[in-house]
Amino acid sequence: MSDACIKSIQNQEPSNGNSLLVDDRNIPLAVLVAGTQNSTEPLEQELGQYPQSYIFFSFDIVNSTKYKSATGNWPLVIRSLLDTIRERVARTDNLSDSRLWRVIGDEMIFIIPVQSKANLCDIVSGIFAVTQKISISLKDGKFFELIQGQQLKSAEIEILKRQNTLSIKAAAWIAVINDHLKNPFDNIVIYYEGPSQDGRISEFLGEDIDAGFRLKAYTQDRRLCLSVELAAFVEEKNLLHIMDYTRLKGVWNESLYPVIWYYDEKAVSSCQKEITGKGQKIPFANSFRYDETDQNPIVQHYFARGGKNQRKTGGDIALNCGMAPSMFTAEIAINKIIADRNMQAKLDYIEKFFTDKPQTVEIHPAPLELHCAVVCCDTSNRRVFATRRSENHCTNPQKWEFGCVRALSNEALVQAVTNQYLQAFGLQIELYMDRSREDRQPVPLAIYELSKTEGNIAKGVIFVAKVMNPSATDNFRPEGKHTEVKWISRENINEIPDNEAVKDFKNTLISVLDNMDCYFNTSDERVCL
């Protein structure tokens, strides 16, 4: 849309008070003029060059409401599951450029720029892999064994495993995002002032965004549902399964829309082997639970057609929607839908904005991320607590450290740190405090920085604390982030090589061991050096 056209539109009277007729389409006035005003705000400049093609993808916890009514431990489990989703996305190579857009209840929605067709296929594969790994981990019970929180007892874990209630479902769609509406195929981004100093909240508006949100209702646990536009770019059409046709409110004038599921049996086998140690190739037709047709019309219709996608181009009429069998063969159906709905111009427009140099998109302006590492001391035995990160940890995998938690904006620093060390390691700690101030806070031992992703450098503070229950480590249960713990004294300080520990691990260890009396002599108000 040209600037002249925009000016003309801005001078028109809305046809219905809220929209204007443009190219035979009623377009909300706010959408038409969004972003057309000159702006010097920094966030718009940070988001990069528009237009650009992005994939939106959603992970939703299945049966979360049912689960919450069945156990009192649901806050710990649900929060750990949401954390696991975000961590899995962050450490999946094909998804490392993604950003969290929003959290809606038990659902997390991410956005990622598309570089090429090959990159697009890798992204879809990565989304599917995350879905499978978490779903398999929940079904097998590994998730509950690895869940963060030493307060979850073994008996409780067994109950959670037997319930077999929770799972993950996913959906993904593609859209061209622009800062204002220049083309009928554009979706726009607008910004709202946030409630805190962290900055603004971004919102995406447009037909493709609406369609994606409608489509999410047609995925199922363990499944990944794709929009037609996204499916059209997937090169291996044999991985696509048209399950049914439905009408999405407000989409395609409510003409029939295909429900397309992505399934890769090789990826499922690989994910099974990673999580359980055993993997087997399970064809799509055999991937359903025995009772999945019960109260599930999508699966009912699939099996009503014979439990497989049709390969014929003619013949009998399909049992649902009165559709020809060929319309359940992904490659045939998608090509015909594109032709019948004149979608090729839209697909060309989407592909036009694939870029080899994706712009970084900060959906939420990155707030300061404060990490708190605590050197926990057993003063009676003059030793320091150490823990080893798991091989799947998103930063410094398999490295020894002192433990690390995040400061929370809705909780006092001391409370947040002590609570999280209790949950993660079962340790009751008392932080070394500055008694000279009215606002008594823990005394920092050192400051550090940690590069997590490109453009995201977390800041950290190291504190010192006294452990009140050192014997709790005897009951340590490996969880998702840490695999083992140990106590280190002067005598065994060299047991951990420098290359197997985080930066400055030994320096910090020596400093605390040398100053332990200073820190925890209650009659001494000195600040230790």
Question: Quick one: pLDDT at residue 243?
Answer: 93
Domain count for the chain: 3
| Residues 3 and 87 grouped into a single domain | no
Q: Look at residue 75 in the predicted model and tell me its pLDDT.
A: 80
pLDDT at 474: 86
pLDDT of res. 480 = 64
Domain presence at residue 357: no
Same domain, 338 and 423: no
Which has the closest alpha carbon to 105: 246, 216, 225, 202? 216
CATH number at residue 167: 3.30.70.1230
CA angle 322, 324, 325 (to 5 degrees): 120
- On whether residue 316 sits in a domain, the answer given is no
CATH no. for residue 509? 3.90.79.10
Position 152 scores a pLDDT of 61
Residues 221 and 335 in one domain: yes
**Which of 113, 92, 88, 118 has its CA nearest to residue 101?**
113
For residues 385 and 344, membership in a common domain is answered with: no
Whether 365 is in a domain gets the answer no
- The pLDDT of residue 410 is 66
Q: Which parts of the chain sit beneath pLDDT 50?
A: 1-17, 19-25, 27, 29-47, 197, 310-320, 522-526, 529
Residue 128: per-residue pLDDT: 97
Measure CA 346 to chain center.
28
Residues 95 and 200 in one domain: yes
How far is residue 403's CA from residue 425's CA, in Å, rounded to a whole number? 9
- Residues 280 and 340 occupy one common structural domain: yes
pLDDT given for residue 47 in this prediction: 45
| In a domain? residue 526 | no
Distance in angstroms (rounded) separating the CA atoms of residues 153 and 73: 11
Distance CA 458, CA 27 (A): 42
Q: Burial code of 33-72, b = ≥16 C-beta within 10 A, e = fewer?
A: ebbbeeeeeeebeebeebbbbbbbbbbbbbebeebeeeee
Residues 263 and 396 in one domain: no
Query: Is 106 inside a domain boundary?
Result: yes
Can you read off the two tokens belonging to residue 403?
Answer: 């433990």
Assigned domain for 313 exists: no
Segment 373-400, tens digit of pLDDT? 999 999 999 999 999 988 766 677 889 9
| Residue 527 lies inside a defined structural domain of this protein | no
pLDDT at site 459: 84
* 413 and 272 in a common domain: no
Q: Are residues 444 and 410 in the same domain?
A: yes
Contacting residues for 108 by C-beta, under 8 A, at least 6 apart:
58, 59, 82, 85, 86, 100, 102
399 and 333 in one domain? no
Whether 344 is covered by a domain: the verdict is yes
- Closest Cα to residue 113, out of 104, 123, 127, 102? 123
Its domain, for residue 25, covers 1-33
pLDDT value, residue 477: 76
Residues 482 and 429 in one domain: yes
Are residue 339 and residue 209 in the same domain, yes or no?
Answer: yes
